[in-house]
Structure formats: structure tokens, C-alpha cells
């Protein structure tokens, strides 16, 4: 895949960026708050097809009943906070209008749409960025630094899980229809875990296997999944995923087992470091509300998006990396359906 900068990425522009938000539901509201707090951006417009949502916008922010009018406005960039099946369509239109584009994960409902978006961004010379919030949570960043500094030696294996109840997720109904969401727990939550495992290991996934089911809600997307990854350097990883009812506890923990120690990250709370001598260092963050925790990740991705545009550099992680995570999840669906491990080989070929 192409990993170069957009055509004009070397020519930085003057901050702040004028940014519009397309979609003012749950995620759109969090993006709006993050943009208002971001020094490198000025939120100027919000579009939503439901007029009642736009009644109490922040002062100075213009409302649009349709996103096409927003794309024709003076904004430099747009944050697309729409159902996944609309990402490709709206992103392509925004890029054609010369706007930089931020979309929430997953980048699209399938790899073909993601590739179209990547090509359009390159052709337009604009930044396409995918929000991978886990890259910006402090407990994950600190754990990653410890691993890079050799605190646990060489990574041997990883166990990751996201057991999330719907009271925490607050998912709208479209998440449970495959034609709109593209998939269930493996895509909605699993793509974060695949991305952070690639990030932590610094390695590429060679093969994937697993199983998917829907024991909790019986919708046409999986609400439970087990994923097995084998990395090129021999690291193995297991991912457990579920959307559950509110009676179940929320667990989103990553265990990284090394040759000289282990790190366990409790997402949104902290981490534990166990070294070879049996010493444990434990850090727990304040118990903030769910929205405040998510805001940290979205605030981080928005700051990175704006900074990359202003400085003329490739954002981190690149949209190509986010597409790789999608490729792995799509390969998992094939593996779960066929009951066989799929050797990815060249990710571009999957």
C-alpha cells in the first residue's frame, strides 16, 4: 500500500483550521466538544438531517440540514460522524470538494471502499484520517513506552478482550444491521484491539482464525467473537469480544506477555507491570464518566488530525494502517465462516 504523504502535504497551512462536523448524534456531539477545545481548530458548521438535533449548537456554529451544503462552505476539513456504510460516499464527496477528512473507525464497511477512499485522498492531495482512539489513551501509551524501553523483554504472546455492555456503548440500532455496520463486535470493538496489537508488537499479522456467534441479542451481526492472530515474527494473540447486557461487567484488558515480564492494561483505568523479580507497579486513574474517558481518545485523534494538516505531515496512524486493521477483521470473518485459518500473506491481496 502507498504510505506517502498527500500531494501537497509538504505545504503547511496557517492554523486554526476551519472544521465542520457531519452527523450530530452521540459521536458527533463528542467530536464537537473536542473541536471546541482544540487550539488548532475552529468549529464553524454542523450538518444533520434531523433538524431537532441542531437546535442547541454552540454559539457561532452554523447549522446545515444537508451535508452537501456544508461541503460547499469555507471549511478546510470535515469530521464525518455517520453510520459506517456512509463513510465512503461522504468522504469521497468531501475530498472532491477539496476538504481534509476525518472518519471514525472502521474506515468503511469493506476493504474495497477503504481503498477507494485512500486513492481519492491521494488524488486530491488531502489528508484522510481514521479515528483510532485507543492510540491516545494515556494508560496504553505509557504501557507501550515501557515495552519499547525493554521493561518486559521480547513480546511472546498477547491476550486482549473487549467485553462491553450496551449501557456503556450506547449503540444506535444501525450497529446491529450488517448492511449498515459491516459487522458486529469483531468490527466495532475488535478493530481497536487488532490495531493496538499491531501497534504494541510493531509487527504484521500473518494469519487469522476464529469464531463468531450471536448468543446475546440474536441480530444479524455477531455479538460474541473469538479471534486468533499469528504475527510474522511468531507472536501469537487471542482476542475475546462481546456485546452483552448491562448485567455483565465492563472489561477491556490487554495482557502483553514478555520474556522478562508482563504488562496488563486496564483500558480507561490504568496498567500493571510485573517484572521478572515479581515486582508489580500499579497505576489506577480516577473513575471518570464514560463520555469523559472517550473524550480523551477523540480529543487526541482530533489534535493529531489538525496538527498533521497544519504541519504538512502524514498523520499517525496513517489511513493505510487503519485499512490494514480492517483487512485483518474482514479476513477473520472469512475464517470464522469457513472454519479455517487464513494466511494473509500480502495484506493487499486479501
CATH code of residue 334:
3.30.360.10
In a domain, 311, yes or no: no
Least confident segment among 64-73, 132-141, 153-162, 272-281: 272-281
Residue 273 domain flag: yes
* pLDDT (average), residues 45-55: 95
Residue 8: which pLDDT band, with cuts at 50, 70 and 90? very low
What's the confidence (pLDDT) of residue 299? 96
- Does a structural domain hold residue 80? yes
Task: Choose the final residue of a domain: 76, 108, 131.
Answer: 131
Range of the domain at 91: 17-131
Instruction: Please tell me the predicted confidence (pLDDT) of residue 168.
Output: 59
pLDDT of residue 278: 79
In a domain, 266, yes or no: yes
What is the spatial order of strands in the sheet that 236-244 belongs to? Answer: 280-284, 270-275, 261-266, 253-258, 155-165, 236-244, 224-231, 205-213, 342-343
For residue 293, being part of any structural domain is answered with no
Q: Supply the pLDDT for residue 285.
A: 72
- For the chain, how big is the Rg over CA atoms in Å? 20
**What is the band of 175 on the pLDDT scale with cuts at 50, 70, 90?**
confident
Predicted pLDDT of residue 275: 86
C-beta pairs of 245-253 under 8 Å, 24+ apart in sequence: 245/165, 245/166, 245/216, 246/165, 246/166, 246/167, 247/165, 248/163, 248/165, 249/163, 249/165, 250/163, 250/164, 250/165, 250/168, 251/161, 251/162, 251/163, 252/161, 252/162, 252/163, 252/164, 253/160, 253/161
Within a domain: 223: yes
Report residue 114's pLDDT band, with 50, 70 and 90 as the boundaries: very high
- Same-domain status, 121 and 143: no
Task: Give the model's confidence band at 329: pLDDT under 50 very low, under 70 low, under 90 confident, else very high.
Answer: very high
Q: What is the pLDDT of residue 291?
A: 61
User: Binning pLDDT at 50, 70 and 90, where does residue 5 land?
Assistant: very low
Q: 168 and 267: one domain?
A: yes
Q: Tell me, yes or no, whether 151 and 123 share the same domain.
A: no
User: Is pLDDT of 211 > 60?
Assistant: yes
Q: Using one digit for the tens of pLDDT, what is the confidence trace for 53-104?
A: 999 999 999 999 999 999 999 999 999 999 999 999 999 999 999 999 999 9
User: What pLDDT was estimated at residue 249?
Assistant: 81
Domain C-terminal end among 102, 131, 160:
131
Q: Are residues 127 and 178 in the same domain?
A: no
User: Same domain for 140 and 116?
Assistant: no
Ranges 13-17, 38-42, 92-96: which has the least confidence: 13-17
- Compute the average pLDDT of residues 189-199: 98
* Same domain membership, residue 167 and residue 28: no
pLDDT of residue 151: 95
Indicate the residue among 101, 131, 161 that finishes a domain: 131
Neighbours of 63 (CB within 10 A): 15
Residues 162 and 262 in one domain: yes
pTM score, whole prediction: 0.92
Is there a single domain that holds both residue 97 and residue 152? no
Identify whether the C-beta of residue 280 lies closer than 8 Å to the C-beta of residue 287. Answer: no
pLDDT band at 176 (very low <50, low <70, confident <90, very high): confident
Q: What is the pLDDT of residue 283?
A: 80
| Residue 301 located in a structural domain | no
**Is 50 exceeded by the pLDDT of residue 153?**
yes
The model's confidence at residue 280, banded by pLDDT at 50, 70 and 90, is confident
Q: Is residue 252 part of a domain?
A: yes
Mean pLDDT over each residue of the chain, to the nearest integer:
91
| Banded model confidence at residue 170, pLDDT cuts 50, 70, 90 | low
- Do residue 65 and residue 147 come from a single domain? no
For residue 41, give the CATH number of its domain.
3.40.50.720
Given a cut of 90, is residue 287 above it in pLDDT? Answer: no
What gap in Å lies between CA 314 and CA 292, rounded to an integer? 28
Better pLDDT: 304 or 181: 304
**pLDDT tens digits for range 312-324:** 999 999 999 999 9
pLDDT of 309 above 60: yes
Total tally of structural domains belonging to the chain: 2
Do 218 and 339 lie in a common domain?
yes
**339 in the same domain as 196:** yes
pLDDT band at 2 (very low <50, low <70, confident <90, very high): very low
Examine the domain organization and report whether 270 and 209 are in the same domain.
yes
Amino acid at each position: 500500500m502507498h504510505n506517502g504523504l498527500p500531494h501537497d502535504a509538504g505545504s503547511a497551512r496557517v492554523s486554526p483550521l476551519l472544521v465542520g462536523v457531519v452527523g450530530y448524534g452521540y459521536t458527533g456531539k463528542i467530536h464537537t466538544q473536542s473541536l471546541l477545545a482544540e487550539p488548532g481548530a475552529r468549529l464553524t458548521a454542523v450538518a444533520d438531517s434531523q433538524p431537532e438535533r441542531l437546535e442547541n449548537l454552540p454559539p457561532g456554529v452554523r447549522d446545515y440540514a444537508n451535508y452537501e451544503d456544508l461541503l460547499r462552505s469555507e471549511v478546510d476539513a470535515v469530521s464525518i460522524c455517520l453510520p459506517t456504510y456512509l463513510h465512503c460516499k461522504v468522504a469521497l464527496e468531501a475530498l472532491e470538494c477539496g476538504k481534509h477528512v476525518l472518519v471514525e473507525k472502521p474506515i468503511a464497511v469493506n476493504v474495497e471502499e477503504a481503498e477507494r477512499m485512500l486513492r481519492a485522498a491521494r488524488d486530491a492531495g488531502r489528508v484522510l484520517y481514521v479515528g483510532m482512539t485507543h492510540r491516545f489513551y494515556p494508560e496504553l501509551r505509557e504501557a507501550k513506552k515501557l515495552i519499547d524501553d525493554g521493561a518486559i523483554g521480547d513480546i511472546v504472546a498477547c491476550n486482549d478482550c473487549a467485553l462491553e455492555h450496551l449501557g456503556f456503548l450506547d449503540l444506535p440500532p444501525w450497529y446491529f444491521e450488517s448492511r449498515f455496520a459491516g459487522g458486529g463486535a469483531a468490527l466495532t470493538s475488535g478493530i481497536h484491539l487488532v490495531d493496538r496489537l499491531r501497534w504494541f508488537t510493531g509487527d504484521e499479522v500473518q494469519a487469522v482464525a476464529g469464531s463468531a456467534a450471536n448468543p446475546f441479542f440474536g441480530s444479524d451481526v455477531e455479538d460474541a467473537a473469538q479471534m486468533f492472530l499469528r504475527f510474522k515474527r511468531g507472536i501469537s494473540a487471542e482476542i475475546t469480544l462481546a456485546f452483552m447486557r448491562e448485567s455483565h461487567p465492563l472489561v477491556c484488558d490487554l495482557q502483553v506477555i514478555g520474556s522478562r515480564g508482563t504488562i496488563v492494561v486496564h483500558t480507561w483505568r490504568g496498567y500493571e507491570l510485573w517484572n521478572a523479580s515479581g515486582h508489580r507497579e500499579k497505576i489506577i486513574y480516577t473513575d471518570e464518566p464514560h463520555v469523559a474517558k472517550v473524550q480523551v481518545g477523540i480529543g487526541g485523534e482530533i489534535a493529531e488530525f489538525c496538527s498533521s494538516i497544519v504541519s504538512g505531515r502524514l498523520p499517525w496512524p496513517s489511513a493505510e494502517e487503519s485499512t490494514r486493521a480492517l483487512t485483518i477483521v474482514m479476513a477473520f470473518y472469512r475464517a470464522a465462516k469457513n472454519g479455517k485459518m487464513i494466511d494473509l500473506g500480502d495484506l493487499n491481496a486479501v
